[in-house]
Structure 1
Amino acid sequence: MAISKQAIVQASIKILNRDGIDNLTMRTIANELQIKAASLYWHVRGKSELYSEIAEYLCSQYQMPKREVDEKSFLEDMYRSYRTMLLSTRDAVPVFEDSIPNTPRRMELITATIDALSVMGIPDKNLITIGNLLNNYVLSFVADEVRFKNTSPEAFADFAETLGPFDRRMFANIDYDGQFLYGLRVLFAGLESPEAQK
């Protein structure tokens, strides 16, 4: 049976959504495709390359916002869409964290970020650092969001018992959309400070 890289990626995403990243192995992908595991290595050399291909596929589904607004609003729209994309596939965050962003579509997203930050006045020497900071914010927010949403009510109740009344209020009825945007705006406010322009 002939197999393609696209078929491998689609089988991998199916396994991720059904069983999680701990069960994504060359063996489980081969079983899903009903082929021998050795056949996969003609298309992907190992887990790191597999993760890169999955991340690239997910980025190819991403809709880049139009740049008809100011750069800060463009980046807010871009990162909201990025969060939505990450939430669309189980365990997307570790896939992105454990792969090198050197594929075409991922590079396009990075370039769009760097261009927008440059227009906002971020010095060239700081562009990569700020780009990484924003990317890591999105990844860590989504990781926390998924963790909280997947915590059973019983486990959360046990956790709440260890907290004081004020702390319990912080974790009740979290507005993830609002908090995500709030965090982005805090980061952007920091970028606009004179200290960040040095």
Structure 2
Amino acid sequence: MSTRAESGPPASERIVLHDADITRALTRIAHEILESNRGPDGLVLLGIPTRGVPLAQRLAALLERFAGVPVATGALDVTMYRDDLAQHPTRAPHPTDIPSSGIDGRVVVLVDDVLFSGRSIRAALDALQDIGRPAAVRLAILVDRGHRELPIRPDFVGKNLPSARSERVNVRLTEVDGVDAVSIQAPDAREGAEADA
């Protein structure tokens, strides 16, 4: 995804979520996770790089603020589990960082920025099988843009964002891009191919 954090989005790009909207969405997701899990016990949040990792860290901070106890957080790299490596062989792997408590018997919440085709999440489920056996796996997504190619549905959604398949959804986060914003970019302004999520 292009960042353009300092110069702002181009004219063909429409901002749909600002920083306050993202904060509200994550706050709601954190409350929904606690309600669904009946508290913080046994939770592990695993962010899918790149932007899923800071989102998981933000959610963990909110959960700790609301529940009063820390929640284990980590990162789950799915690069080598993707089914499109032949088309994109130069993908650089990210480090996987599983909390020392592990995931066996825990409720794992996978966290990502955009849910599109569902292929990244399928890869994440395959990666989890090589790490351990969670009691349950849930999915928290900041933006669900539809166009699913696999039968995958998120449990917690910040924003449902209908968009044309030809459009690009850009998520920018302060930790990565220097600004918090979600935008839709028209196809004539896209730079490069959209990553399936």
TM-score normalised by structure 1 residue count: 0.30
- The structure with the largest strand share of the pair is 2
Return the TM-score normalized by structure 2: 0.30
By relative contact order (CA 8 Å, sep 6+), the higher-ranking structure is 2
Which is greater in Rg? 1
